[in-house]
Amino acid sequence: MGLVARHIEAHGIPTVIMGCAKDIVEYCGVPRHLFSDFPLGNSCGKPFDAESQAATLEMAFQLLESATAARTTVQSPQRWDGDASWKADYSNADRLTPAQLAERKREFETAEAIGREKRRNM
């Protein structure tokens, strides 16, 4: 997406990338980057948390309006959890029991089904 953003910008259309992988996004040299220190795949806010998602979108619009230089990164003040310990455990299969892995799979499949249903009803 970073390379696409640069191409779009080269044609006069401003962009903002919302991302969780700060090092990768900045390496690509995107013009504007809203960094959320969340697990990968959650750059638009916390899942099923409309308030978090709306706040993230508002920050992206503010960045679009206020960035004064190329390669501007703004960090979201939102936190995934109270401390950073989730980073060692999030999606780390080596630290999970088979029962925990099965539960995560069920949670993922449930979220996936909810998303499919919402798209169908649009």
HSE (CB half, 13 Å, CA atoms) of 22? 10
Where does residue 38 fall: left (phi above 0), alpha (psi -120 to 50 degrees), or beta otherwise?
A: beta
**Is 87 within a domain?**
no
Tens of pLDDT, residues 8-46:
988 989 999 999 989 888 888 888 999 999 988 899 999
Same domain for 115 and 62: no
Same domain for 120 and 76: no
**Is 111 within a domain?**
yes
Kindly report the pTM of this predicted structure.
Answer: 0.72
Q: State which residues form the domain around 56.
A: 2-81
Q: Residue 59 and residue 48: Cα distance in Å, rounded?
A: 18
Same domain for 67 and 25: yes
